[in-house]
Amino acid sequence: MARRLVVVTGASSGIGTAFAREFASHGWDLALVARREDRLKDLAEEMKARYGVESLIIPADLAKASAPKDIVKVVDDAGRQIDGLVNNAGAGQPGFFAETKWTDQARFLQLMVTNYLALAHLVAPGMAERGFGRIINVSSVSALLPSANAHTRFSGTLYPGAKSLLIKFSEALHLELSAKNVHVSAVAPGYTWSEFHDVNGARPVVSQMPKFWMLTAEEVAKAGYDAVERGVVLRVPGAWYKFLTAMSKALPDPVGRALMRMQEKRMAARMGAAQ
């Protein structure tokens, strides 16, 4: 039997690279997607040497509407079928909603929402027909906690909402497809070491977070892989974030928001100290 193949978007860095390594360690071939082709090639060579798996390199800009079809075509043309999808590529949209251009917000939605859904829509029918599929959508703990300006000024006003949609989408698609052995999971990480906070400018604040707030990309990928294999719809990696999200569910909304405002003040103080 041919090895299974997983498409990993945003595989050139951070959580995406960790997901590629995780799937490869379980014997999956890879289709690696991102804009930085050189990094994808290096990762493919590393995965071949370590695990003997093959990779397709697919340079693509996922902020473009044409990208999902182009990606699937490359895999089809290589004579492979898609058994897994990790929707992970992403970046924040720094700046408050009313102060940024609509074209930037629309680009953000294309990258962070529409193309996640479009890729899932392209691959899900084949998975259902063949009776096997694994889809992971990388959400964020910000979807499960009250919003705070201190976060959205870096990641974007739409960021928590975009990530919330991925959780509800994963839940509903899993309900639709799990009887056909197509599992869909959302993984909702908190602060994770990667390039994300360099790209969105939050590094000075994030580098001052207590250590127990920080996850590694490997922890996130392991949690996501385990969740999708077990058919768990939502996984929050790390004990601290499990605690925070459980608290947020248990507390009345106004109390949760008040606690978030206190945390926000601490972050603002850290930001002041870092400038």
Ligand X SMILES: NC(=O)c1ccc[n+]([C@@H]2O[C@H](COP(=O)([O-])OP(=O)(O)OC[C@H]3O[C@@H](n4cnc5c(N)ncnc54)[C@H](OP(=O)(O)O)[C@@H]3O)[C@@H](O)[C@H]2O)c1
Q: What residues line the site for ligand X (CB under 6 A)? A: 10-16, 34-36, 60-63, 88-91, 111, 138, 140, 189, 191-192, 194-196, 199, 217
Instruction: Tell me the C-alpha distance between 16 and 143, whole Å.
Output: 19
Nearer of residues 61 and 70 to ligand X, judged by Cβ: 61
Nearer of residues 2 and 86 to ligand X, judged by Cβ: 86
Residue 139: active-site member: yes
Residue 55: active-site member: no
Beta partners for 102?
A: none
Cα angle value 153/157/162 (rounded, 5°): 130
User: Is 183 in a helix, a strand, or coil?
Assistant: strand
Q: What separation in angstroms does the CA of 195 have from each of 184, 198, 201?
A: 26, 5, 10
We find the least distance from the C-beta atom of residue 250 to ligand X, in angstroms, to be 22
We find the least distance from the C-beta atom of residue 191 to ligand X, in angstroms, to be 5
Which residue is catalytic, options 12, 55, 142, 163?
163
Instruction: Tell me the C-alpha distance between 103 and 165, whole Å.
Output: 20
Phi, psi of 135 (to 5 degrees): -125, 125
Report residue 61 as tokens: 């800009």
We find the least distance from the C-beta atom of residue 10 to ligand X, in angstroms, to be 3
Nearer of residues 68 and 133 to ligand X, judged by Cβ: 68
Nearer of residues 199 and 259 to ligand X, judged by Cβ: 199
Residue 236 in contact with residue 242, Cβ under 8 Å?
A: yes
Which helix (DSSP H) or strand (DSSP E) does residue 196 occupy? helix 196-199
Instruction: Tell me the C-alpha distance between 257 and 9, whole Å.
Output: 33
User: Is 53 in a helix, a strand, or coil?
Assistant: coil
Which residue is catalytic, options 116, 159, 191, 225?
159
Which residue is catalytic, options 139, 140, 142, 185?
139
115-130 vs 159-177: helix axis angle to the nearest 10? 10
Residue that the structure tokens 């096997």 belong to: 132
We find the least distance from the C-beta atom of residue 27 to ligand X, in angstroms, to be 23
Report residue 3 as tokens: 């090895």
Nearer of residues 65 and 255 to ligand X, judged by Cβ: 65
Residue nearest to ligand X (CB): 14
We find the least distance from the C-beta atom of residue 11 to ligand X, in angstroms, to be 6
Greatest distance between any 2 Cα atoms in the chain: 58
We find the least distance from the C-beta atom of residue 110 to ligand X, in angstroms, to be 9
Active site residues: 139, 159, 163
